[in-house]
Chains A and B, each alone.
Chain A
C-alpha cells in the first residue's frame, strides 16, 4: 500500500515529463499570474508604507538656562543640523532674543526707542535665555513615541532648561493610514482569491489533456484516490514551482527598481513583501493547484 502510494507520487512527478510543452506553458502561466500578484502586492505594500509614514513637520522650542556659555550652546546648535530628519532651526542668542523682544515691544508701542533706553536697569547683559526653534520632518510610523524620544533627547542636553514640543499636525496622514488599514487586508484576501482562481483554472485546463487517461483508469477499475493522487501531486508541484519562480523574478525585479521612486519629494522605497506574504505567494498557487486538480478529476 505504502509502496503503491510512493509509486503514485513518483508517477505524479514523472508524468509531468510526458507532455513537457503543456507543462511548461502551464508553469509559465502560473508563474506570470503569481508574478503579477506579487507586483500588485509590492505596489500595495509600498503605498501602504507611504501612507503610514507621517508627512509634516514638528517643531521643538528649546530654552537654555540663562547665562549659559554660548560657545557650548552654539556647538549644540550646530549638532542639530546633523540629526536625522532635521528640517530647519531658528536660533536666538540672549542678545538676539532681547533685540527681537525690544523691536516687538517698540513696534507695539509705536515708537522706535531702544529697549535699553526704556529699561536702563537691564544694562549691557541680556537676562534672556538662549533659545532655538528646531523643526524636523520625520518619516515615522509611531509619531507619539518619536516625539517623546526627541523631546527627551533635547531635554537632556547639557544646559537645556525646558523643551516645548508642538504637536504634529498630520491629520491627513492619520486619515490615510486608517483607510489603508481597511483597504490593505481586504485587498490581500482578494488578491489571494484571484491568484487561486487563475492558477486553478490554468492547471485545470492543462488537465483537460489528461481526461482521456482518467477515463481509461476508471475503465480498468481504478479507485478514485488512485487516479487523483498523481494529479494532485502534479498540480501541487506546478503551483509550487510557479510560485517559487515568480518569487525569484519578483526578487530580481525588486533589486533593480528598489530605489526607482526614492527621490525627493517622494522618497519612497519600494517594499518587498515580508516573509509570510512570500510564503503565501508560493503556497496559494500550490494549494490551489492541488484543489484544481482534484476538482478536474471530478468533472
Chain B
C-alpha cells in the first residue's frame, strides 16, 4: 500500500529526510515516532504529495508519486485521509460543513453526506456541536473535527500527524480505538506521535522512529534502519526497549 525506497528530501541545504526505506501493506498500523524536528510531518507530507518528491521512490495506494501533478494529485488525495498537525479546519464554517468538505468535493448528494457526517460525528462525540462554527470550539474539539474529516471518506490510507496531541489521555486512548477500527477494515494507518504511552498500549503495531530524518529504529522487516554502518541490515529487533516490553505485558489485557 505504501512503498518508500531511498527517499531523501531537503529544504535548501538542510537535509530533512535521509535515505528512508520502508513499506507497509494493506491493514498495517504504523506508529511514527521521533523528537520534534525529526521529519515526521515532512515524511507524511511527501506521502500525500504536498511536497514534490526529490530523491528516491515513493508510491501510495498504487500511485507512483514521482513527478505527480494536477488532477492525479487530487485523485491520490481522494484515497488518503489526512489528519493535519495544525488541523486545517475552516474556523468560520460549522463543524458539519468542515466534516462534509471531502464528501462535497467528491460530488456526493446531500442526504448521503448528512448521514455519513452524522455517523462520524457521533463516533467522535461531536454530534451536539455539528451546527457550531469551528472557530469557537476547544482545541480538543477542533482536533476531533480534523479527525472526523479524515475518517468520513473511509480512506484506504490514513495519515495522522499527532492526532491526539491536544486530547487528554483518556480521550486519546478512546480515539486510538477508532483508528484501530479503520485498520481492522483494511486501511493502512500511519500515526505520528510523541506519546510513548500510546505506543506501549499497542504492542502489535509497527513502530518506526525517526531522528534527523533517518530511520533509527523499526520493528518489522519491511523497514530498513539507516544505521551508520550501512543501509543493508534490516533491523528486526523487538519493539522498543526491554522495559518497554514489560509495559506492554502489563497494559495488554
Contact B92 A222 (CB under 8 A): no
Contact A220 B107, CB 8 Å, known A18-B92, A213-B90, A215-B88? no
Contact B70 A224 (CB under 8 A): yes
**A288 to B109 Cα, complex, angstroms:** 33
Residues of chain A at interface, number, CB under 8 A? 19
Chain B positions within 8 Å of A190 at CB level: none
A226, CB-defined interface residue at 8 Å: yes
A145, CB-defined interface residue at 8 Å: no
Q: How far is the CB of A5 from chain B (nearest CB, A)?
A: 10
Chain A positions within 8 Å of B70 at CB level: 224
Contact A222 B105 (CB under 8 A): yes
Contact B74 A222 (CB under 8 A): yes
Q: How far is the CB of B134 from chain A (nearest CB, A)?
A: 12
Of chain A, the residue at the smallest CB distance from B71 is A223
B-facing residues in A7-29 (Cβ within 8 Å): 7, 18-19
Chain A positions within 8 Å of B149 at CB level: 220
**A30 to B220 Cα, complex, angstroms:** 61
A83, CB-defined interface residue at 8 Å: no
Q: How far is the CB of A133 from chain B (nearest CB, A)?
A: 80
A-facing residues in B87-106 (Cβ within 8 Å): 88-90, 92-93, 101-102, 104-106
**A222 to B78 Cα, complex, angstroms:** 8
Contact A219 B90, CB 8 Å, known A1-B107, A4-B107, A226-B105? no
Of chain B, the residue at the smallest CB distance from A5 is B107
Over the window 48-81 of chain B, the binary record of Cβ atoms lying under 8 Å from chain A Cβ atoms (1 yes, 0 no) is 1010000000000000000000110111111000
Of chain A, the residue at the smallest CB distance from B103 is A220
Q: How far is the CB of B131 from chain A (nearest CB, A)?
A: 16
A-facing residues in B148-187 (Cβ within 8 Å): 149
Contact B107 A219 (CB under 8 A): no
Contact A221 B77 (CB under 8 A): yes
Q: Which one, B78, B105, B107, contacts A217 given CB within 8 A? A: B105
Chain B positions within 8 Å of A216 at CB level: 88-90, 101
A153, CB-defined interface residue at 8 Å: no
Q: Which one, B73, B90, B104, contacts A212 given CB within 8 A? A: B90
Interface residues of A (CB under 8 A from B): 1, 3-4, 7, 18-19, 212-213, 215-224, 226
Q: With A216-B89, A221-B106, A223-B71 given, name 16 new contacts (CB 8 A).
A: A3-B109, A4-B107, A18-B92, A18-B93, A19-B92, A216-B88, A216-B101, A219-B48, A219-B50, A219-B82, A219-B88, A220-B102, A220-B149, A221-B105, A223-B74, A224-B74
